[in-house]
Structure 1
């Protein structure tokens, strides 16, 4: 059997029980006494029981009313708490925002943005997950984070990819390398040099391969004798003079590459796109939307690393 009991019925019943008077309860609830009486009658009609006994001097709980009162109070308390939480979330007083991004994005771009966001919304928790391109997509797909910042690794149909930054590829050299003083290099100049590469499962390497294929860039580059899984490890190999590395500028601007030379490559100039990655059909929470807007504003206002720039027509909303 269905019922039409609402929060207002529970609130009315609890207030009458507390006051022992329809007159005082109506005044506290800012209702007319006739409206309050009708509300209690609806509740009792739906229950099929008398919940309140009316005397000439006082309104008392019936036996069934005494049993129902703690249940009604718990229901009303849970509702008020849940609704207060919703309002707090909407007003950025509480909540959490999760972002997945590459280690270079987290270490090089996001710290100041997160600092400003935390100053503006100190009640919002922020959790960052650094991962490779495929891992960023997976975390967004599985709703582990609200959105990601990374490349379009596998063009997942359930994801939106909104380009926001362009990151130019170049070569990383030891400071004593013969080409270290060059302002720019073309791809043919590095074709015969020994290379150190990131492993094939990294987004940086797969993106570079896609760009080379898209630009018909067949350089017959020598096969890498050394592969490492992290940019930090790659930097140490370059620093030891074991070869050069091809990287986007953002990755090469992190502290791991301090003391090494980054030289942009041209003929052709290759750039990877860094995207805002989000789930299709999933609205961002107010807190996540605010962080995304701050990221967009910061990208526009802040000094980006050399050879990193805003994408044309960058959009920072779903």
Structure 2
């Protein structure tokens, strides 16, 4: 049997039970008595039970009505709570946003944006997940976060990549290195120098491999002698004088590299794209959309060294 009962039937029943009168209940619900009577008849016909008894002075609940009343009250309460939660989410009065990004993006770029957003929408929770390029994609794919900020690591067909920044590549050298005072360096000037690299599973390594092939460069990526999985570990190795390393400027701008020198590479000047990564077909909540807009506005006015907007 098809159930055609709606929340209005429940509200009518509960209001009559509370008032003990069709007349007062109709007034409170802003209905005519005939409409209210028809609504209760529909409810009783659907239930195949009489829920209310009318006397000359008062409307009383039947035994079945007494049993059903707390159930109806809970259903109304649950409905109102759920709908109010939806409204609060729509008006950004509550909710939670998840963002996945590289450690350098989280430490270098996002803090002022998150602070500004939190001051504007203090009831919205925000959780940040730092990860490498493949991890960012996976977190977005699994709906663990609303969106990610990173490079297009594997061009997943289920993901959308919207470029927002281009981050220039350069070389990182220790203090005292003979290249340390240069303002810019050609790629061919570093081809014979010992190099340290991030491991194969990182976005930077895969991007360098692609750049090497596309631009006919010798970046010593094949069988690299010393590799490390994190930029912080890489920075410590560079400080020892073991070698130099190739990184995008954002990765080289974190605290781990404070004692080192980043020099942009030229001839050719090469960049990595930083993208907003989202899942195709998945709508963002109003809160997530608002944060994303704030991030885009920040990027459009960025003055980070070696960064350019993708439109430029």
Confirm or deny a common fold (TM above 0.5): yes
* Change beyond 3 A, Cα 1:105–1:22: same
* Change beyond 3 A, Cα 1:199–1:28: same
Query: Displacement of 1:153 after TM fit?
Result: 0.5
Q: Which residue of 1 aligns with 2:111?
A: 111
Q: Which residue of 2 aligns with 1:133?
A: 133
Q: Which residue of 2 aligns with 1:38?
A: 38
What stretches of structure 2 of length at least 5 have no aligned partner? none
CA contact (8 A) 1:133 1:153 kept: yes
Kindly indicate whether residue 64 of structure 2 is the aligned counterpart of residue 64 of structure 1.
yes
CA distance, structure 2, for counterparts of residue 76 and residue 223 of structure 1: 66
Per-residue displacement from partner, 1:17-65 (whole Å, max 9, x unpaired)? 0010111111111111221111111111111111000011100000111
Q: Which residue of 1 aligns with 2:94?
A: 94
Query: Displacement of 1:268 after TM fit?
Result: 1.2
Q: Give the secondary-structure state (helix, strand or coil) at the position aligned to 1:3.
A: coil
Q: Which residue of 2 aligns with 1:172?
A: 172
Q: Which residue of 2 aligns with 1:309?
A: 308
For these two proteins, the number of residue pairs brought into alignment is 312
CA distance, structure 2, for counterparts of residue 77 and residue 130 of structure 1: 39
Q: CA RMSD in A?
A: 1.3
CA distance, structure 1, for counterparts of residue 4 and residue 199 of structure 2: 63
TM-score if structure 2 supplies the norm length? 0.97
Q: Which residue of 2 aligns with 1:198?
A: 198
CA distance, structure 2, for counterparts of residue 206 and residue 77 of structure 1: 54
CA contact (8 A) 2:191 2:218 kept: no
* Change beyond 3 A, Cα 1:94–1:208: same
CA contact (8 A) 2:195 2:220 kept: no
Query: Displacement of 1:15 after TM fit?
Result: 0.3
CA contact (8 A) 2:209 2:221 kept: no
What stretches of structure 1 of length at least 5 have no aligned partner? 314-318
CA distance, structure 2, for counterparts of residue 222 and residue 179 of structure 1: 24
- Larger deviation, residues 155-164 vs 34-43: 34-43
Q: Which residue of 2 aligns with 1:316?
A: none
Per-residue displacement from partner, 1:61-84 (whole Å, max 9, x unpaired)? 001111111111111111111111
CA distance, structure 2, for counterparts of residue 219 and residue 301 of structure 1: 33
